[in-house]
Amino acid sequence: MNEVKLLQRRYLTIAAIIAALFVIAIAGYMIPVEKQDVPARIVMDNTGGRVIFSHQAHAEDYGFDCIDCHHDDIGSDTFLACGTCHPAEFNDDFRVNHQKAFPSDEACLRCHDDVPTAPLAEDERPDIENIPLRAEAFHTQCMGCHEENGGPYGDDSCYQCHAR
């Protein structure tokens, strides 16, 4: 093999390596980051007056685990908004939209006996008696923990959470 050919082959090898690295770098940008950001503050507008929830302080400073509040570990990397399962009302809007709101079918089984594929027969409808609606889910969880661990709860506490 003469020297020119040898050099050409080296250039080709280097070019191939650079191309490969380039592909890996692009892929690195395109694959979504797995870990979700922890929201710092969450503003909750509602008829009782706006609540500003110090999410990060609760998650990092007060010594709780994510699943102390995000009680539904449905086997995904993401935590769902509470309202995904605790709507303001189990109405037509929920009936239609919730079916696409979950990252996997595992979540369906929280409320359904099987993964539903069609409109439900009367006896297949989830028992919604035990699933608190949105405001009740928040009040129960927020104040339940505060009663045990500190933080506002009880009849006089409304405006420690709600803006007047």
| 98 labelled binding-site residue | no
Burial class of residue 161, CB neighbours in 10 A (0-12, 13-18, 19+) = buried
111 is a site residue for ligand HEC (CB under 6 A): yes
One residue of 19, 110, 113, 147 binding ligand HEC per CB under 6 A: 110
State the nearest-atom distance from the C-beta of 63 to ligand HEC, in Å. 8
What is the distance between the alpha carbons of residues 8 and 18, in angstroms, rounded to a whole number?
15
What the block records as the tokens of 92 is: 């037509």
List phi, psi (to 5°) of 132. Answer: -65, 145
State the nearest-atom distance from the C-beta of 100 to ligand HEC, in Å. 7
What is the distance between the alpha carbons of residues 38 and 96, in angstroms, rounded to a whole number?
29
Residue whose CB is less far from ligand HEC, 18 or 158: 158
Please report how many Cα atoms fall inside a 13 Å half-sphere around the Cα of residue 103, on the Cβ side.
10
Residue whose CB is less far from ligand HEC, 16 or 128: 128
Site for ligand HEC in 52-91 (CB under 6 A): 53-55, 57-59, 62, 64, 66, 68-72, 74, 79-86, 90
Residue whose CB is less far from ligand HEC, 25 or 101: 101
Residue whose CB is less far from ligand HEC, 13 or 72: 72
Q: Using the Cα atoms of residue 46, residue 51, residue 55 and residue 61 in order, give the sign of their dihedral.
A: negative
What is the distance between the alpha carbons of residues 117 and 115, in angstroms, rounded to a whole number?
7
Instruction: Answer whether 128's CB lies under 8 Å from 143's CB.
Output: no
Point out the annotated binding site for heme c: 55, 58, 66, 69-71, 82, 85-86, 108, 111-112
Point out the annotated binding site: 55, 58, 66, 69-71, 82, 85-86, 108, 111-112
